[in-house]
Structure 1
């Protein structure tokens, strides 16, 4: 014999989304699936509570067009709590929408990219990279400074289409505007906990008062890589890393820019 499914006890309220005892419902409320507590709410409060209840139980799967349309409408809801929750769920269901929208607004004006760490060359060997690349969209000039060669500079002037293609590649493919977030290069001070780091950089004024923690110190030594970008909309980006390795996308940018200065293969 198959086991009976366990059904929740009580009656369901469509406003708060809870199962409550029958005594919590009036005669009309029982038929309308609205408990006594929720019946005292205003029309706007009832609508907001129903929206929040639906959002909290929103399916994490491929949603239908009608569900997507409803979710986008709730992102502009008059209730801030509903709008914020709908926006968070929409970003979870469509994680690349926000990035793609940002890509359409960002055009690089100038870029400076420094690398001072070992990287893999095109043949799979490790080499010390100690170079700086600069890009100027207006003049279409790409410059490389080699600090291992006493700061010697090489410059190439790209065609208009080549420069536009390179800048689109950096924004649309490498998504340079998200590196700070993707590689956690700017952690919040609130997330800093010296206990987890086994450091002694904290003090207590009073055992009964809250623990006051010193903010994290700036990393010592020179950076392993740094990128500075100025966009056409006058926004600026400055990312600096002290890690002992070069992440995949910064490494891809380094190798791509280095190709412009490699000698062409001779044809025999």
Structure 2
């Protein structure tokens, strides 16, 4: 997602949960990388430096959320004036970096009075009960801003978008997979026990014969050089089965159990490889 369009979100913290975060989540679902303070500023970092240097100045697009709360926020006013000043420094009279959304007509009237630089083409109605049409217009505006800053023809812009979408989707799938694996790891009682089992001395013998066992072939229980096989039975990774050999004698072999198979899965995903 780091190669996608980066959008800085200027907003009032009072609107974060009820208004801002639902829109942020929808934007991220549409392959847009969003810089929002709650997720991007680690504890202990300088707030002002992080927001202005790491957020606003590096972003491709500044998305300004206008509500009653943000219009009464001195911090939001500081962010808006900063990005307006930086845009004018670059000689960008049409404010290429800025997109503003407002939640109501009353808010719109106050914006035009306080920030006359933000003309109608930079403002988008986004009510708190916004629908797909509102979201689609906002997404289109963001990508249009991004492409105009990137330059190039329509085909180049289309290829950039497809590449960004591909990268973003893969990273999202990886994060979901990691999250699912961690949730499964912590919810599975056997997996908690496997962290202890992997340190048992008998595991080295199990690892040596893992491919053979997983292929359905047993190990002998009559090899005096490997008494640890009985520890593996005690750990529940192997089970003894009596069979007749070619000469008709009863012999006992150790076969991998379902628990043994689960251990192999766990070891591959989470276990230490430097046994």
TM-score category of the 2 structures, normalised to the smaller one: under 0.3
Larger Rg: 2
TM-score by length of 2: 0.22
TM-score by length of 1: 0.22
Say which structure is richer in strand. 1
